[in-house]
Amino acid sequence: MTGLLVRRLASMVPLLFVVSIVVFLLVHIVPGDPARTLAGGEFATPERVQLVRHQLGLDQPIMAQYGHWLGNALHLDFGKSLTTNRSVLTELAERLPVTAGLVAGAVLFAVLVALPAGIAAAVRQRRWLDKVIIAGVSLGMSVPTFWLALILVSVFAVQLKLLPAIGFVHFTDSPVEWARHLLLPWISISVVMAASLTRQLRASLCDALEDDYIRTARSKGLAPAKVVGKHALKNAAMPAITVLGLQIGYLFGGAVIVEQIFSIPGVGSLLIQAVINKDVPVLQGGVIVLALLVLAINFAVDVVYGYVNPKVRVA
Amino acid sequence: MTAISLTRSHRVRAVRLRRIARQFCSHRLALVALIFLVGLALVAVLADVLAPFDPRHQDYDVLNKGPSVHHWLGTDSLGRDMLSRLIHGARVSLLSSVGAIALTLVIAVPLAIWSGYAGGLVDMVVMRITDALQVIPPLVLALAIVGVLGPSVRNIVIALSIIFAPSFIRLVRGEVLAVREATYIEASRSIGSSPFYIVRRRVLHNIASPLIVQTSVTLGFALLAEAGLSFIGLGVQPPNPSWGNMLSTSYASIFTAPAQIYIPGSAIALTVFAFNLVGDGLRDVLGVSSASISRHSL
């Protein structure tokens, strides 16, 4: 098990190296003279252009630039934001907990819906309950998250006036207000997640229920709840966990549009601001940190795998 | 001899196509979705003829009005006809998603075939880049690319094709690796077929089915991503209409005209749903395993 995890960790190193090259090159695909464009285009003063050029190291040969940039990035130093002049890492560190709260709530909602729905559909395969759940899944996977968010705002905030339409309150200031402000974003994000998780869980549970060991478990007189809950679910959980892990990682950046709609000051809003202001250091830092996060979650999924499936531990 | 075998292989192909078409037609929902998409494509092509008004024309006498005899779907906050904007928006939405997929195929398929066929260093480099691109959340990568290139439809197409390329490369390369060692390829090689011929006649033939399914599923996501990026102002620039920026215009007047968000929103949702249904139908008919298809969601 430890050997496997060490190998997994080692395989991330070349991956991160390639990510760093891709991210580094971002500044070089800025059209025209990057320093001038990023300094504000044709209206930028020559001093400002020079400053940006120096700040980004664009006055050095490209290999030296990359070496310098990578050296700093290894210490999580992504330079300073071109607009606020604050350290990119500080900006990101301020916003990550906000997005983490958003993602955690949405994942909780999704799992709470998908677990019973997936099990119910698999157990009642091809009956009407299964058909209803399948229809719900296709519907849930086709509704654009950002449109759902708008509908929820329109119904619950504008018409019924039950919940705030936009804004954010920090958890430390008031947990109740925090949850009230995040309820609509949680629901909008969790619908797609719950749908694809249900789909995955149903599919793998259906497969598992047809295996020989289930017939054995049934024939020795085990209670149906125990057959499904203990034997089938443990085997069916792996693909679902993979899907969940992938989604959590992607959500940290994928919640961009929902964060924008609800004015939540998370990583997504930071990235959108960076795009609007052409703040390349923030974009670079954001992409790297999010990639690191995805890798960390993949690693966590591997650990869970080992826990759920003893076969992996031996390999 | 050649003439005979040619007509015969044509006939075999025609029979196979007819069988696939018949099976697809038995999937009612998928068929309805396909008809919807074809209709939508026609609307997009004929937008100039079909739209009752100029989608950019502002009429300050009818701001945020509901449906009427004159304006079937009402007007937006600048007094522009919603129906006309929806029709012209269909053109932008379909064109950019089809464009993104076309660019993806042009980049990914040759690269994947080369990578899978050549192996060695080429394969390693291509796969490492693919891995790296898949570690970055797709929407963030698209955002970063559009961010540095500047907001426009063209740049969205470029960004989307970069985020789609990895899953296409993976799919095609896997198939190439699988058929490369197959006996019939070896036989073909031994009678002196050129690699180009083998790739065109044998490999492409084998990857066609999964590729078609992956394409139709990804089209839906492309439409969604374009709408999302236009919604936050990075795609089609106003006053030109797209479903995404119509949604953000209608969101701005959510207090005065709360029903407006349903018009562009349901257009996006229905179209994405249709692409997914067609994809699922094709998957069943062509016998592609659902595990080989990678799905995105937004």
pLDDT per residue over A57-74, tens digit each?
A: 777 788 888 888 888 888
More confident residue, A103 or A215: A103
- Read off φ and ψ for residue B50, nearest 5 degrees: -80, -35
pLDDT greater than 90 at residue A311: no
Q: How confident is the model at residue B3 (pLDDT cuts 50, 70, 90)?
A: low
Q: Name the band, by pLDDT with cuts 50, 70 and 90, for residue A77.
A: confident
Question: Mean pLDDT, to the nearest integer, of B214-227?
Answer: 90
Tokens 């961010």, residue located: B147
Count of residues for chain A? 315
CA distance B175 to B191: 23
Mean pLDDT over residues B35-57, rounded? 87
Mean pLDDT of B52-79: 78
Specify the amino acid at residue B167.
Answer: S
pLDDT at B8: 64
pLDDT score, position B165: 93
Which two tokens mark B289? 């395993």
List the one residue out of A233, A298, A267, A252 whose CA is nearest residue A106: A252
Specify the range with the lowest mean pLDDT, choosing from A2-11, B175-184, B194-203, B238-247: B194-203
Backbone torsions φ then ψ of B81, nearest 5 degrees:
-70, 120
Question: A144: closest CA among A267, A257, A263, A245?
Answer: A257
From the CB of residue A175, how many other CB atoms can be counted at a distance below 10 Å? Answer: 11
- Find the range with the poorest average confidence among A55-69, A78-92, A141-155, B261-275: A55-69
Q: Which of A97-101, A246-250, B101-105, B217-221 has the lowest mean pLDDT?
A: A246-250
Higher pLDDT, A267 or A211: A267
Residue A289 to chain B, least CA–CA distance (Å):
9
Lowest-pLDDT range, A114-128, A155-169, B84-98, B284-298?
A: B284-298
CA neighbor of A235 nearest in space, from A203, A196, A212, A204: A204
Residue B200 pLDDT greater than 70, yes or no: yes
Buried b (16+ CB within 10 A) or exposed e, A69-98: beeebeeeebbbbbeeeebbbebbeebbeb
Q: Which of residues 90-149 of B touch A (CB under 8 A)?
A: 128-129, 131-133, 135-141, 143-149
Beta-bridge partners for B75: B81
Q: Do A275 and B146 touch (CB under 8 A)?
A: yes
B65 against B86, higher pLDDT = B86
Does B227 have pLDDT greater than 70?
A: yes
State the burial class of residue B292 (Cβ atoms within 10 Å of its Cβ: 0-12, 13-18, 19+).
middle
| B61: confidence class by pLDDT, cuts 50, 70, 90 | confident
d(CA A107, CA A99): 12
Backbone angles phi, psi at A61, to 5 degrees: -65, 155
Structural tokens at position A27: 């500044």
Distance from CA of A218 to the nearest CA of B (A): 29
Which chain A residues are within 8 Å of B278, Cβ to Cβ?
none
For the whole model, what pTM was predicted? 0.85
Cβ of A29 within 8 Å of Cβ of B149? The answer is yes
User: Are B219 and B101 contacting, i.e. CB atoms less than 8 angstroms apart?
Assistant: yes
What's the pLDDT tens digit per position in B126-172? 998 998 888 888 888 898 898 888 888 899 999 999 999 999 999 88
The more confident residue out of B62 and A143 is A143
**Which residues, 6 or more positions from A214, have their beta carbon under 8 angstroms from its beta carbon?**
A208, A227, A231, A232
Of the candidates B133, B148, B258, which has its C-beta nearest A154's C-beta? B258
B204 inside 8 A of chain A by CB: no
Q: What percent of chain A has pLDDT over 90?
A: 19
In this structure, are residues B244 and B229 in contact, taking their beta carbons and an 8 Å threshold? yes
Return the closest-CA partner of residue A185 out of A106, A253, A94, A114: A106
Write the DSSP string, B18-37.
Answer: HHHHHHHHH-HHHHHHHHHH
- Radius of gyration, alpha carbons of chain B: 22
Residue of B nearest to A19 (CA): B132
Which comes out higher in pLDDT, residue A91 or A32? A91
A257 to B276: CB separation less than 8 angstroms, yes or no? no
Q: Reply yes or no on whether the pLDDT at B298 is more than 70.
A: no
Looking at residue B1, what is its pLDDT?
44
**What is the mean predicted confidence (pLDDT) over A43-62?**
80
What mean pLDDT, rounded, does chain B reach?
Answer: 84
Structure tokens at B209: 């089915």
Q: Look at A15 and B129 and tell me if their CB atoms are within 8 Å.
A: no
Q: What is the pLDDT of residues A251-299, one digit of tens each?
A: 877 788 899 899 999 999 999 888 888 888 898 999 999 999 989 988 8
Q: Is the CB of residue A158 less than 8 Å from the CB of residue B255?
A: yes
Give ∠ CA B231-B233-B238 in degrees, rounded to 5: 100
Query: What digits encode the pLDDT tens for the residues B93-139?
Result: 999 999 999 999 999 999 998 898 888 899 999 998 998 888 888 88
